Every structure is written in structure tokens, then in C-alpha cells.
């Protein structure tokens, strides 16, 4: 989905290993969500745990929005007009409901629960997302992965991947990105990352072997688990620093559903504003200028962001830039 804030904050994302991040001496942090409305009169809101002041990145993962279960009759569901992205991949992951995706490389896909829909924006793409009329409950997550500098200008493309669930240590696991326990996703990544859904029945302790070079996040969708011995509430994102070779998730009295994200620390500074990721203020200004020109031209097959076909409505103009220079934190 889009970052639909009308006044998006400048977010300068520094690699936490450069020392600008919070202390991770304990190797564990709880990242608490903040509510962000998606705009419109009956709009649903999302719970955002990345980025935030305390932490900007987990591996190359740079954006975590969690939403629902959302009663569409009350909230109005999801209607996100065509909007651009640069320098990132979007991961759409649903627990309930269906969303129609259209983009400017000609993809027209239905996003369904348990299926990865991965859009690589690269040098620039635009897409729309609309919950289908028969969807009564919408529930899922929207995640972004920053592309490394060397590959961030690749041509945009879109992939679908349906992981086969498997049982391990009493849990059901779906590996939708990267590799875990010998299960591989075929979706393309540009840095070493992992993404998986974990489902634990009540009374289950999952001892999950993980890559000790990775840092990890566990987003709790449902239940009241402990992660490495720490209680984690719904919509909180538990952070586990590099160095851990096992992450222990215990469900306790009720079942748990969670998402695992992780990756090798990116080791780069990025500048993130609205739906763009770049490396400098000037680059973000240029992305915005180019997008606004495309919006005024009502989409241009030869433009940077191409054209979304089949969406009934106008594209989303970019908000105003803040009156401060966007620059990476150092
Ligand atoms: Mn989007």
C-alpha cells in the first residue's frame, strides 16, 4: 500500500551498526506500533512499527504496517489509488480478505491470504490496491525492503509465490522470502533476507534455528507469546540483534500467529520520504518532481512511472516536501 500520510515525516535511515541506533546491548528490543490513518472519510488505519525513531531497519526491511482484522462494512476497506515507488520492494501479505493489485508493468493480480505478492520498484513503478467487493474482513501486513545501492535501479517487476506450509517443532511455517530450515522462496531478493509466517498452537515452544549473521523482527499478529523470554503484545515488533542462532517463540495459553522478518544489516544509509527511497535530498526532490509531472500528464507510457491500466480514478499526488533538507542521519 501507499504511505498516505498527508505530512510524511522525513525519515533518515542510518544503519544501526554505525552507532546512531539505540543500544542493543541486551540484543533485544520491543518496537511499539503507532496508529496511522490511511486517509478518507471511513478509512482504515494501520499500526506501524518500522521505521521509527528507535530503529529504522531490520536487515533491509524498512517499513512494517500491520492492519486488521478490519470490518470492511465499517472501515470502508482499502482503496489506494495509483502511487509510485522507487528503490524498494513491497511485500503484500494477507491473513484474511482479497486485494486487487494493478501496476505499470502490466500486472493484474489478486493478493490472497498465504500468498506472497512481491513488487520490485527498482528505478520506478506505480500501482493501485483495492480490496475486492466480496471481502468482509481485511487483515494483513504491508512490508518494504530497501534495495541495496548497487541494484536499486533495476527494471521494475512483479512476482507471486505461494509457500508450502510445513511443520517444525509443533509450529506451522510458511517461508515466503529467502530461506529457513531448508525451505526456499523463489521470489527474488537483492540482499540476504528472510520472511516467514509462524503459526503456533497453544502450549507450543518453537526453537527456531536462524542465521546468526541476521538481525530479526517478530511481528505478533495474534496471541500473547514470549520471544526469547520476553512477552510481546499484539502488533508489537520484537527485535533480536545479530548473533542469535536460535529464536525461541512460546505461545502460552492461546495460539500465536506472527511474522518473522530478518536479514543481514544493510550497512548503507538511505533517505526515505513518502513512497520513495533514495540516497540524497536532491534525488527525492527529483523523484517527486517526476511523479507530479506524470500525475498531471495522467500517466505516460514513456514516463518514469509508466501507467496503471484498469484503475477507475486518478493517481495520488505527492504531498508537499517538508521545509527541511532530507539527509541521512550520521
Ligand atoms: Mn504502494
- The residue ranges of every structural domain in the chain are 11-263
Calculate how far, in angstroms, residue 209's C-alpha sits from the geometric centre of ligand 1.
32
pLDDT > 90: what percent of the chain?
A: 78
Calculate how far, in angstroms, residue 93's C-alpha sits from the geometric centre of ligand 1.
13
Ligand 1 is an ion; residues with CB less than 5 A from it:
2
pLDDT > 70: what percent of the chain?
A: 89
Calculate how far, in angstroms, residue 143's C-alpha sits from the geometric centre of ligand 1.
10
**pLDDT one-digit tens code per residue, 260-309:** 999 999 999 999 999 999 999 999 999 999 999 988 777 666 778 999 99
Q: Note every long-range contact of 180-187, with CB atoms under 8 Å and residues 24 or more positions apart, other chains counting.
A: 180/208, 180/210, 180/260, 181/208, 181/209, 185/116, 185/161, 186/159, 186/161, 187/116, 187/118, 187/159, 187/161
Q: What is the pTM of this model?
A: 0.92
**What does the mean pLDDT of the chain come to?**
91
Q: Which residue has the higher pLDDT, 22 or 292?
A: 292
Calculate how far, in angstroms, residue 2's C-alpha sits from the geometric centre of ligand 1.
4
Calculate how far, in angstroms, residue 15's C-alpha sits from the geometric centre of ligand 1.
23
Q: Which residue has the higher pLDDT, 75 or 88?
A: 88
Nearest to 48 by CA among 70, 69, 61, 65: 65
pLDDT over 50 (residue 13):
yes
Q: Which residue has the higher pLDDT, 247 or 296?
A: 247
Domain 11-263 has CATH 2.60.120.10: yes
Q: What is the pLDDT of residue 10?
A: 57
**192 to each of 156, 162, 175, 178, 240, how far by Cα in Å?**
19, 20, 14, 7, 16
pLDDT over 60 (residue 41):
no
Calculate how far, in angstroms, residue 204's C-alpha sits from the geometric centre of ligand 1.
35
Amino acid at each position: 500500500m501507499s504511505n498516505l500520510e498527508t505530512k510524511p515525516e522525513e525519515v533518515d535511515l542510518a544503519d544501526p551498526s554505525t552507532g546512531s541506533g539505540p543500544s542493543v546491548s541486551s540484543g533485544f528490543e520491543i518496537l511499539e506500533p503507532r496508529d496511522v490513518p490511511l486517509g478518507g472519510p471511513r478509512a482504515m488505519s494501520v499500526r506501524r512499527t518500522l521505521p521509527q525513531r528507535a530503529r529504522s531497519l531490520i536487515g533491509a526491511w524498512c517499513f512494517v504496517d500491520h492492519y486488521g482484522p478490519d470490518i470492511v462494512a465499517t472501515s470502508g476497506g482499502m482503496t489506494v489509488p495509483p502511487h509510485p515507488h522507487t528503490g524498494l520492494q513491497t511485500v503484500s501479505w494477507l491473513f484474511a480478505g482479497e486485494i486487487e493489485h494493478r501496476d505499470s508493468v502490466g500486472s493484474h493480480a489478486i493478493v490472497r491470504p498465504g500468498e506472497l505478492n512481491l513488487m520490485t520498484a527498482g528505478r520506478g513503478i506505480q500501482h493501485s490496491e483495492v480490496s475486492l467487493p466480496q471481502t468482509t474482513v481485511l487483515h494483513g501486513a504491508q512490508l518494504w525492503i530497501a534495495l541495496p545501492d548497487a541494484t536499486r535501479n533495476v527494471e521494475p517487476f512483479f512476482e507471486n509465490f505461494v509457500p508450502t506450509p510445513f511443520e517444525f517443532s509443533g509450529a506451522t511455517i510458511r517461508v515466503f522470502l529467502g530461506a529457513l530450515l531448508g525451505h526456499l522462496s523463489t521470489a527474488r531478493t537483492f540482499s540476504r533476507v528472510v520472511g516467514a509466517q509462524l503459526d503456533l498452537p497453544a502450549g507450543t515452544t518453537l526453537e527456531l534455528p536462524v542465521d546468526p549473521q541476521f538481525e530479526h523482527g517478530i511481528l505478533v499478529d495474534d496471541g500473547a507469546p514470549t520471544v526469547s523470554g520476553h512477552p510481546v503484545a499484539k502488533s508489537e515488533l520484537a527485535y533480536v540483534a545479530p548473533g542469535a542462532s536460535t529464536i525461541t517463540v512460546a505461545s502460552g495459553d492461546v495460539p500465536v500467529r506472527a511474522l518473522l522478518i530478518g536479514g543481514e544489516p544493510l550497512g548503507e544509509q538511505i533517505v526515505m520520504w513518502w513512497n520513495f527511497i533514495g540516497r540524497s535530498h536532491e534525488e527525492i526532490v527529483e523523484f517527486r518532481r517526476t511523479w507530479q509531472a506524470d500525475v498531471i500528464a495522467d500517466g505516460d507510457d514513456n514516463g518514469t512511472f509508466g501507467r496503471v491500466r484498469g484503475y477507475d480514478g486518478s493517481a495520488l499526488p505527492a504531498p508537499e516536501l517538508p521545509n527541511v533538507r532530507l539527509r541521512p542521519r550520521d
